[in-house]
Structure 1
Amino acid sequence: MSEMFDAARWKPAPFLPEADARDGALIFVVAVLSFLACLMALAFVAADRAAHGWAQQLVGEATVIVRPKGGESPDAAAARAAETLAGVPGVSEARALEREKAYDLIRPWLGDVTDLEDLPVPRLVTVELDRRNPPSAATLDQALKAQGLDGVVDDHSLWLKDITRAAWAARWLGGGVFLLIAGAAAAVIAFATRAGLTARRDVVEVLHLSGAEHALIAKLFQARFARIAAVGGTAGALTAAAVGATLRMAGGGEGLTPALPIAWGDLLVLLPCPVAAALVAALAARFTADSMIRDLQ
């Protein structure tokens, strides 16, 4: 009699068990996808900061190539050009580069030239500009011509355009990769939801016959897979944060490369990862469950 059914002690099994043998694999997949998305976010923030820093440097600098005219020596022409440009409104400082530095710039192109004194090597003048109100290249050129100087002004606008285009390309590429990762995560959750509903199809039909609404069943799957995705997202974010911290400590303030100067504050962009993973999983599970349950009706 002790082995007979005891109605007082009997408890029905939950429709979705709290733990499943396949949860570990699903959490691992979500964690890997979240890790990749977090790395992409870190790279995006660091690259955007680097591009902005380079653009600010280019906006605040200009280079002038000075060629001597008549009997004037190259050094005298460069000194006079620096003095002229220093008086232009918006110029913080103008300095003529030393002759040795000018030679060092052209040696990689000319090879091992023993005597550069016989070559008409132009002199360079570096100009630091006021970033808030920098003068245009045309203004600098007019100032040089007013003093009878033969100079070519390079305000780095060409390089600035290239950096701007590269920054926009990086933004679009990062956004596209992020959407692909989110889509992959949604597909994985949708597959798991379909598998779970297929395994419990008979129970779903009985629940419908008992008057249960399909929204209630869909919410059960939504909550379950959102919780699993949150765990995987947390694991992926923590791993990415560890990688980011390692790169920051190994590379110092500039990171391992000037193109990716990771800062400690960049790790804050990883905080929404568990919430984002749970949201993607909840939406994917809800839409998949709603669609399948309606087909069963």
Structure 2
Amino acid sequence: MHDDLPRPPSGGSGRLLPPDAGRDRPLFLVAAILVFLACIAALGARGAWHQAQNWTTELESSLTIQIRPVDGRDTEADTQRAAEIARGMPGVQAATPRTREDALALLTPWLGEGNLPDDLPLPLMVDVELEPRAARDDRVAISDLQARLDAEGMAASVDDHSRWARAVRRAAGTAQTLGLSLLALLTGAAAAVIAFAARASLAARTDVIDALHLCGAEDRFIAGLFQRRFFMLGVKSGLVGALFAALVSIGVSFSQSPADMAFFLPRWAANPFELILLGAAPLLAGLTSALSARLAVASDLRGRW
């Protein structure tokens, strides 16, 4: 029985299923757009996670001491003294006292310049930079530092930035989940579009399919013809979509985007993740197209005969 199966002539399935530019061009465009959006979603999810890692590392490698103004005490002198105490703690790499001008500079974006009276008491800050090992091993005892500041009679509080680090991690997790969910939805949409196109192509070539069936071709052979055809279409559209995603990511990386938007944009880092992702996108698009087309055609053929 298998010896009677028709053999595709030289040129493979192209002779039996010739390309139809009228149908293939819109399908190619839609598939390329879906691959482009999928790559952007994956790059954005990875970029959000990478940016969050950088931010949490910066937060966890530093402390902030706030010196509140109190009647009868010199706030600037207390700030200098707090910096000296912090420098004497194990695991502290540097402690920089901030002046009133620094505090005014922090408030200017919110209140405008020159809107605060000169005699308004403002809390002052001490930026404490931890040694890398101390940041990892938690060698700096926050309670000991707080106790030493309290012993000096200062109205001081120590912030280890843990609350902000947790907030950044939650935001990164949310962004990553949204990106991966969008990637899954786009993959499902691409599979549905290819399945619909494969069924339409099967219906448009009933004469060829009937002739192959009369010659003894099995359903798996006919489904294989569509599988190979849509695999190549998926690979080509994947190449175009991945290329445009790379260009957009590179363009975003060199643009002067606002800092608050950088968290969600797919910035190009030229590391193995980006290269593997964009390199695998055409192959994954081809495999998704081939599998969707084969399943759709095989299902229709089972109900046809």
- TM bracket, shorter-chain basis: 0.7 to 0.9
Matched letter for residue 133 of structure 1: D
Show the counterpart of 1:83: 84
* Counterparts in 2 of 1:113 and 1:203: CA distance versus 1, 3 Å: closer
Structure 1 runs not aligned, ≥5 long:
1-12
* Residues 238 and 285 in structure 2, CA contact (< 8 A), matched pair in contact too: yes
Structure 2 runs not aligned, ≥5 long:
1-13
Give the superposed CA RMSD.
2.7
* Residues 231 and 274 in structure 1, CA contact (< 8 A), matched pair in contact too: yes
1:114 aligns with 2:122: no
1:124 aligns with 2:125: yes
Q: TM-score by structure 2 length?
A: 0.82
Q: Deviations over 1:229-257 (max 9, x none)?
A: 111111111122222222333349x9995
Q: Deviations over 1:163-219 (max 9, x none)?
A: 111100011100111111111111111011101112233543443343322111111
1:239 aligns with 2:244: yes
Q: Deviations over 1:73-118 (max 9, x none)?
A: 11121111111111222221112111221233346459713322xx
Matched letter for residue 285 of structure 2: A
> How many residues matched?
282
Show the counterpart of 2:199: 194
Work out the percentage of aligned pairs sharing the same amino acid. 40
- Superposition deviation, residue 55 in structure 1: 0.9
Matched letter for residue 14 of structure 1: R
- Superposition deviation, residue 276 in structure 1: 1.2
Q: Deviations over 1:132-179 (max 9, x none)?
A: 234254343233234443311111112111111110001110011111
Q: Distance in 2 between matches of 1:261 and 1:61?
A: 28
Of residues 187-196 and 72-81 in structure 1, the stretch that sits farther from structure 2 once superposed is 72-81
Show the counterpart of 2:10: none
* Counterparts in 2 of 1:180 and 1:289: CA distance versus 1, 3 Å: same
* Residues 43 and 266 in structure 2, CA contact (< 8 A), matched pair in contact too: no
Q: Distance in 2 between matches of 1:106 and 1:237?
A: 44
Show the counterpart of 1:176: 181
Secondary structure at the residue paired with 2:136? coil
Q: Distance in 2 between matches of 1:174 and 1:189?
A: 22
Q: Distance in 1 between matches of 2:26 and 2:290?
A: 18
Q: TM-score by structure 1 length?
A: 0.84
